A and B are shown apart, each in its own frame.
Chain A
């Protein structure tokens, strides 16, 4: 039990290594069993997690380079726990629904490695090891897009890799600078300084506002490209457009969340003054993401591109919530990460199923599909409603909390961001109408098969989760809430400028009133 996090991280990787000796025909079954075990392990983690405590739990600390304070340091709290569970879930569902035919063995092994890196990112608290997992996660995705992708796959894969890699390098500079700052603050000038890369140590560090701003910028570039924030988003449509279905599912569901998770885990608590100063610029970018990309999504001709752009739009909501500086906004943001992960993952899977049948994703090729594929249309409809944030689906809870949280910061910006419920409905409903409604005119569509057992089996759990967490989000919201509240307390405590302190306190005081 004590080492459950290490097991979670390394089990898929070891299983992946073993996968090389497994027979090609049984590799899918092997992959599914490994990911099922992994998923169950993550559920065990949740079951033994103390949701009422904001402390880091299941801590493991093994020094690697003691001279420089680098250690293998993993733990979870309410913020990361559910991202881990979502990762294991989406990998499992992804492998079940996978329709890749060629080189399936390599695919399964790659996915297992990818799973290791993703979980590693979410649970590591040592910044160097975090950076290691962060960069490692690029490699399997590069391979997935480059090897199984569409005609432009090499371009898309290299663009994805170089773009995100450039951002991370700038972040690395920030990390090193921060490490030196910590070293100096701990008496580095007298040559007795202590090195540490542990995030929890860094949390205690008070930084000057100027330093905070520079470091915020360095981390911002690393995270913003990953999110992806406007105007760094253009790698995403290419990556999604070329990636195989499974690649898109993992990319949208988990990899993008690494960026927003980074903001919540690093930028906010490390640089509270800079974060508060940057609320308005970030909110403006987020609103551009929400409205502009929603409009771009509306103009698309390809179903998958609509969903790719819609991801950017939803990530705008998540970014907005992360900078609301109150529990409603930040909890909503984290909840929305989960909601978007599941909903967009499911939507990409659905598009992939259509692509498997017709080998095209152009909306003009379809129309009236509800007639021949009613089950498919129904599940698509439910996911669509979750995507546009209908109450009693997961999408609403997150969006509502984000907006209500940010309203306390700025009503005007919230109203602008709130247009997401309108523009989101516009592109999603138009997509649905063009694909499923109208006359069934195209001969090729007349004999399309509805969902088969495997596809249904991979989608129904997601539908159930989307509705369950829309009706009863408490089991997830509560631990998130506790962790976020303690993080805000920390931010208030370590803010350098009195103005920041006041601001965070005013955001938080509304929460104390009743409790």
Chain B
């Protein structure tokens, strides 16, 4: 079994190194194929591990070697395959395999084909490290690793130049990449602080040592736990793009679409949720209930906030990115409410249908020659039947329509909000479910139905390669069936995670609640159909209204950040350099040197060579000494 852990972990690493060998040569299709095969091996190993754990309920620990050992700080490269991590491993490796296969077709014409696979596999390796580590430091390795791979992949088309925000809201791939990295680093500082607190209070970073000790600390000082929870959650906020660190996620859509599917929808952005789930012994404690409640509230807020921005966006990928943001909010809401297994369940289900949705969007982009404006599409259904099917299916799942995956997972989250008696959160989540359905189908209808607006732009769309479409099918199947195993999944992961049972009261109302949510979802779809299925009718009045512009500009938050943070930072840096460093600090040093130099230069005149001058100076000196002696004798 231990070997399987290593295979699951290192197959992507080998794949990355393999692709790296060909990074300097032109496209080699076999690089993609070999990489996909290695990823599939990783998936197989993960699946066998999962099967083993399902059957035996045995948690596998692997300790590879020591990493950092100083004083009493001892951090190993240790990995664990337990119920939570194995779920993540299966999800990650499965989605990655599909995305790898998909990329063979999608990146077909890209001259950096080999480089792409190297980065992509490196990302999967980092993600595997993140989910499999048995300690916080190992998690942090993966955490930063995925950050770097995300940086590399968002900026994959680095040769594009910067443009203004009006032309492209992300400015350029390299700009978006830097933004993502730096924003994540802000959060990483929080994460590091959390790690420090945990280490100095428990003397270890291993999960299995830290978590049992938490109750001891709670007795001594609960503040420590609260601070640790806040710090860790700040870390989670960055990676999972929660408000106010959310702007990078939509800008990250500058990366190639398979990247958006894998990293910015299915896996990396869920790392924050994973952290909260992983650290559930901490977040679930009574002492930190306030923090958890904040997490739930923030999650709900982000769910609603992101959905509102998706309502009016015209960019195909950005709409999906906003929906990812919104769904991450759902996951945090569940985790914050203590329903960790539901959060994990939604995480997995969401990974499948969201990846599918993104890959479908990639097909559309491919067909439309990288055009992303849904106002310029329409009627693509005729040319792209498969893609239409896939995206429709994924959107239904996202909207939470029975019997698809999203129905089960999202419904459970909304129920748990109700169960906690928090009707405000519940209402917001229900409304958001309606909005989700609306914007998903607005996008589907504008893309695939109605008048064929693309003809004006002289585009001839075509369906994606067959093998790519077949490669996407596992995701489509899972988007349908993933929800059916809900009860089994609950039984499986609650071996490790705390069980979350609905109260009797909720249990009675469960049918009513489900119907309410479904009504919202269906009416969202119907409104979208009513407005958009026949074609696009733009209304000047609405597009110029304040709310529309506010939403379309993402509440002006990116502009606000640029004006309030980036620009002052650059200006302050300039002031520090030119005014303080050069004009004050360095000038002081030079002034001291100059005083010494000038006084030497000035006193040179004394050395005139004239004896009578010297004698005068000598007398002056003698008199001065006499006076000094007099003064000192008087002063005593």
A interface list, Cβ under 8 A from B: 159, 162-163, 230-231, 233-235, 292, 295-296, 298-300, 326-328, 331-332, 368, 370-371, 374-375, 378, 385, 390-392, 396-397, 400-401, 403-404, 407-408, 411, 414-415, 418-419, 421-422, 425-426, 429-430, 433, 436-441, 471-474, 477-478, 481, 485, 510-515
The 10 tightest CB contacts between A and B, nearest first, are A437-B174, A327-B71, A299-B573, A234-B586, A511-B71, A407-B196, A299-B577, A391-B141, A295-B573, A437-B158
Chain A residues lying within 8 Å of B24, measured Cβ to Cβ, are: 374-375
Q: A233-B585, A425-B181 are in contact. List 16 more A-B contacts (CB 8 A).
A: A231-B585, A292-B576, A295-B573, A299-B570, A299-B573, A299-B576, A370-B159, A391-B141, A401-B70, A401-B73, A415-B189, A421-B188, A429-B181, A438-B159, A478-B69, A515-B71
A-B contact pairs, 28 of them (CB 8 A): A163-B589, A295-B576, A296-B573, A298-B573, A299-B570, A328-B71, A331-B71, A332-B70, A368-B158, A371-B159, A375-B24, A401-B68, A403-B192, A418-B189, A422-B182, A422-B185, A422-B186, A422-B189, A425-B181, A433-B175, A437-B155, A437-B158, A438-B162, A473-B67, A473-B68, A474-B69, A477-B70, A510-B71
> Once bound together, how far apart are the Cα atoms of A162 and B593, in whole Å?
9
Task: Tell me, yes or no, whether B470 is within 8 Å of chain A by CB.
Answer: no
Which residue from B66, B182, B578 sits with its C-beta under 8 Å from A425?
B182
Contact B200 A510 (CB under 8 A): yes
B interface list, Cβ under 8 A from A: 23-24, 65-74, 137, 140-141, 144-145, 148, 151, 155, 158-162, 172, 174-175, 178, 181-182, 185-186, 188-189, 192-193, 195-197, 199-200, 203, 569-570, 572-574, 576-578, 581, 585-586, 588-589, 593
Min CB distance A443 to B, Å, is 16
Min CB distance B310 to A, Å, is 29
Chain A residues lying within 8 Å of B174, measured Cβ to Cβ, are: 433, 437-438
**CB within 8 Å for A429 and B141 given contacts A331-B70, A439-B160:** no
Closest to A233 in B: B585
Chain A residues lying within 8 Å of B175, measured Cβ to Cβ, are: 433
Which residue from B72, B160, B193 sits with its C-beta under 8 Å from A510?
B72
**CB within 8 Å for A429 and B159 given contacts A298-B570, A332-B70, A421-B188:** no
Contact A485 B71 (CB under 8 A): yes
Contact B70 A515 (CB under 8 A): no
Chain A residues lying within 8 Å of B181, measured Cβ to Cβ, are: 425, 429
Closest to B193 in A: A415
> Once bound together, how far apart are the Cα atoms of A485 and B70, in whole Å?
10
Chain B residues lying within 8 Å of A397, measured Cβ to Cβ, are: 68
Chain A residues lying within 8 Å of B155, measured Cβ to Cβ, are: 437
Min CB distance B579 to A, Å, is 11
Which residue from A385, A407, A414, A511 sits with its C-beta under 8 Å from B72?
A511
**CB within 8 Å for A438 and B70 given contacts A391-B141, A403-B192, A514-B203:** no
> Once bound together, how far apart are the Cα atoms of A390 and B151, in whole Å?
13
Main SS class of interface, A: helix
Contact B159 A437 (CB under 8 A): yes
Contact B192 A295 (CB under 8 A): no
Chain B residues lying within 8 Å of A370, measured Cβ to Cβ, are: 158-159
Chain B residues lying within 8 Å of A415, measured Cβ to Cβ, are: 189, 193
Contact B159 A421 (CB under 8 A): no
Chain A residues lying within 8 Å of B182, measured Cβ to Cβ, are: 422, 425-426, 429
Which residue from B148, B189, B572, B589 sits with its C-beta under 8 Å from A385?
B148
Chain A residues lying within 8 Å of B73, measured Cβ to Cβ, are: 328, 401, 404
Contact A295 B572 (CB under 8 A): yes
> Once bound together, how far apart are the Cα atoms of A421 and B144, in whole Å?
11
Min CB distance B97 to A, Å, is 24
Contact A439 B161 (CB under 8 A): yes
Chain B residues lying within 8 Å of A234, measured Cβ to Cβ, are: 581, 585-586, 589
Contact A327 B70 (CB under 8 A): yes
Min CB distance B360 to A, Å, is 30
> Once bound together, how far apart are the Cα atoms of A473 and B70, in whole Å?
10
Closest to B175 in A: A433
> Once bound together, how far apart are the Cα atoms of A210 and B175, in whole Å?
54
Min CB distance B337 to A, Å, is 29
Chain A residues lying within 8 Å of B570, measured Cβ to Cβ, are: 298-299
> Once bound together, how far apart are the Cα atoms of A407 and B192, in whole Å?
11
Min CB distance B539 to A, Å, is 38
Contact A513 B178 (CB under 8 A): no
Chain A residues lying within 8 Å of B144, measured Cβ to Cβ, are: 390-391, 396
Contact A481 B71 (CB under 8 A): yes
Q: Which of B24, B189, B573, B585 has the most CB of A within 10 A?
A: B573
Contact A421 B189 (CB under 8 A): yes
Min CB distance B184 to A, Å, is 9
> Once bound together, how far apart are the Cα atoms of A295 and B195, in whole Å?
27
> Once bound together, how far apart are the Cα atoms of A405 and B175, in whole Å?
34
Contact B158 A421 (CB under 8 A): no
Min CB distance B224 to A, Å, is 11
Chain B residues lying within 8 Å of A404, measured Cβ to Cβ, are: 73, 195-196, 199-200
Chain A residues lying within 8 Å of B577, measured Cβ to Cβ, are: 295-296, 299-300
Contact B71 A433 (CB under 8 A): no
Chain B residues lying within 8 Å of A231, measured Cβ to Cβ, are: 585, 588
Min CB distance A271 to B, Å, is 23
> Once bound together, how far apart are the Cα atoms of A512 and B65, in whole Å?
23
**CB within 8 Å for A391 and B196 given contacts A437-B155, A477-B68:** no
> Once bound together, how far apart are the Cα atoms of A296 and B67, in whole Å?
34
Contact B576 A368 (CB under 8 A): no
Chain A residues lying within 8 Å of B69, measured Cβ to Cβ, are: 474, 477-478, 481
Chain A residues lying within 8 Å of B66, measured Cβ to Cβ, are: 474
Q: Which of B70, B192, B569 has the most CB of A within 10 A?
A: B70
Closest to B587 in A: A234
Which residue from B67, B140, B158 sits with its C-beta under 8 Å from A472?
B67
Q: Which of B71, B189, B192, B569 has the most CB of A within 10 A?
A: B71
> Once bound together, how far apart are the Cα atoms of A328 and B196, in whole Å?
12
> Once bound together, how far apart are the Cα atoms of A439 and B588, in whole Å?
42
Contact A472 B200 (CB under 8 A): no
**CB within 8 Å for A481 and B185 given contacts A299-B574, A414-B193, A415-B193:** no
Contact B192 A418 (CB under 8 A): yes
> Once bound together, how far apart are the Cα atoms of A373 and B197, in whole Å?
44
Min CB distance A287 to B, Å, is 14
Closest to B143 in A: A391
Closest to B179 in A: A429
Chain A residues lying within 8 Å of B195, measured Cβ to Cβ, are: 404
Chain B residues lying within 8 Å of A332, measured Cβ to Cβ, are: 70
> Once bound together, how far apart are the Cα atoms of A388 and B589, in whole Å?
30
Min CB distance A51 to B, Å, is 12
Min CB distance B2 to A, Å, is 20
Chain B residues lying within 8 Å of A371, measured Cβ to Cβ, are: 159
Chain A residues lying within 8 Å of B178, measured Cβ to Cβ, are: 429-430, 433
Contact B172 A425 (CB under 8 A): no
> Once bound together, how far apart are the Cα atoms of A415 and B193, in whole Å?
7
Which residue from B70, B137, B151, B578 sits with its C-beta under 8 Å from A481?
B70
> Once bound together, how far apart are the Cα atoms of A230 and B160, in whole Å?
39
> Once bound together, how far apart are the Cα atoms of A252 and B221, in whole Å?
45
> Once bound together, how far apart are the Cα atoms of A250 and B182, in whole Å?
31
Closest to B173 in A: A437
Min CB distance A172 to B, Å, is 19
Chain B residues lying within 8 Å of A433, measured Cβ to Cβ, are: 174-175, 178
> Once bound together, how far apart are the Cα atoms of A299 and B182, in whole Å?
17
Contact B585 A513 (CB under 8 A): no
Closest to B592 in A: A166
Contact A296 B589 (CB under 8 A): no
Min CB distance A111 to B, Å, is 28
Closest to B161 in A: A439
> Once bound together, how far apart are the Cα atoms of A404 and B23, in whole Å?
38
Closest to A377 in B: B158
Min CB distance A471 to B, Å, is 8
Min CB distance A445 to B, Å, is 13
Closest to A508 in B: B71
> Once bound together, how far apart are the Cα atoms of A123 and B23, in whole Å?
44
Contact A419 B67 (CB under 8 A): no
